[in-house]
Amino acid sequence: MGDRGTVLPVLTLLLFGGALAVALAVDLGRCGAAWREASFAADAGAEAGAAAIDPEEAYQGRLLLDPALAEEQAVAAALAARPRAGRSAAAEAETTRVCVTVHQPFPPGLLGSLAGTRVIAAAACASPAQG
């Protein structure tokens, strides 16, 4: 008869563990979605930057980038693609390719007290090509 009430603490621990597992699954899903958005923004920026062809070189038959214009267009496109608060973008361009890095803050929802705010980074590169 001394075993009465022993199921209640075990059930409480199981429910608490289940709630933490659900919270972790939700936060991992949100983190994956945020990384996918940052990656999309980096890809969009790199593709836009790769379209900044130097007109003088194009008339000579060479597909080379105007690096300053490519960087400017790449950053603008990365920030405009599915815009999010706190997103930053940086681009580095040469005459043959442009690379974009996007940083996006990710505030965890359910496990925020444990994880804190993280920054998600994604990068992409593109080169001009004749299609």
Query: Residue 13: inside a domain, yes or no?
Result: yes
Closest among 121, 50, 49, 110 to 88, alpha carbons compared: 121
> Starting from the edge strand earliest in sequence, which strands make up the sheet with 98-106, in order?
88-93, 98-106, 118-126
Helices 67-80 and 7-50: crossing angle in degrees, nearest 10, is: 150
Residue predicted with more confidence, 110 or 48: 48
Instruction: Indicate if the pLDDT at residue 2 is higher than 70.
Output: no
Local confidence band at 57 (pLDDT 50, 70, 90 cut-offs): confident
Query: Residue 1: inside a domain, yes or no?
Result: no
Query: Residue 85: inside a domain, yes or no?
Result: yes
Query: Residue 131: inside a domain, yes or no?
Result: no
Query: Residue 30: inside a domain, yes or no?
Result: yes
Closest among 125, 131, 59, 50 to 95, alpha carbons compared: 50
Domain that holds residue 56: 7-126
pTM here is 0.80
Domain count, the chain: 1
Determine phi and psi for 2, rounding to 5 degrees.
-85, 0
Query: Residue 77: inside a domain, yes or no?
Result: yes
- Three-class secondary structure of residue 2 per DSSP: coil
Instruction: Indicate if the pLDDT at residue 120 is higher than 70.
Output: yes
Query: Residue 55: inside a domain, yes or no?
Result: yes
Query: Residue 101: inside a domain, yes or no?
Result: yes
Give the whole-angstrom CA distance, residue 36 versus residue 45: 14
Instruction: Indicate if the pLDDT at residue 118 is higher than 90.
Output: no
